[in-house]
């Protein structure tokens, strides 16, 4: 298995980005590198926080949500000029980036709402479990008391219930 330098990997991965926006298959054919190797490099770069769109969707709207989120994070601390240059280098419009930022904020709000709903449901389930356990304990105590009474009432020798009628 051939070893590739970091510079070569970066150059190959750069072909996946705008302005080239080549597919992994196209880059693999041009560079004579296997597709799985390029997919692995792209995956590793994504794990390091770099933004690499899916090659099947070179249009920024086809980027994965993870890539969109990475772009929002990368540009969060940038001023307008730096953000414009970033967008040009990635083939984006500033409006797209702004829309993705709003989508990320709404997703965070939705996640908070879901978490609060789950916490309320969990609390209600804990209360229900506690009430059911209390009821179960009460019924077990009643059953034990009933068993004790039956043991006292029934004669030990003959096994008939005739004494039970007399007891009333």
pTM, whole model, 2 decimals?
A: 0.42
pLDDT in tens, 115-163: 888 899 999 999 999 999 999 999 999 999 999 888 888 765 555 555 5
pLDDT digits (tens, 9 = 90+) for 24-46: 888 889 889 998 998 898 888 87
Is residue 1 very low, low, confident or very high in pLDDT (cuts 50, 70, 90)?
low
Q: Is 75 exposed, middle or buried (0-12, 13-18, 19+ CB in 10 A)?
A: buried
For residues 95 and 13, give the distance between their C-alpha atoms in angstroms, rounded to a whole number: 26
Mean pLDDT of the chain: 82
Q: CB–CB of 95/85 below 8 Å?
A: no
């Amino acid at each position: 298995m051939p070893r590739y330098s970091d510079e070569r990997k970066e150059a190959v991965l750069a072909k996946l980005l705008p302005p080239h926006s080549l597919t992994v298959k196209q880059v693999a054919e041009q560079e004579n590198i296997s597709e799985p190797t390029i997919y692995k490099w792209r995956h590793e770069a994504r794990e390091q926080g770099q933004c690499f769109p899916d090659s099947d969707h070179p249009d920024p709207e086809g980027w994965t949500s993870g890539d969109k989120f990475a772009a929002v994070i990368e540009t969060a601390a940038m001023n307008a000029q730096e953000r414009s240059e970033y967008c040009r280098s990635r083939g984006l419009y500033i409006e797209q980036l702004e829309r993705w930022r709003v989508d990320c904020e709404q997703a965070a709000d939705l996640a908070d709402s879901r978490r609060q709903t789950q916490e309320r449901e969990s609390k209600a389930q804990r209360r229900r479990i506690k009430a059911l356990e209390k009821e179960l304990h009460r019924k077990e105590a009643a059953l034990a008391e009933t068993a004790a009474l039956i043991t006292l009432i029934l004669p030990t020798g003959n096994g008939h219930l005739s004494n039970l009628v007399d007891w009333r």
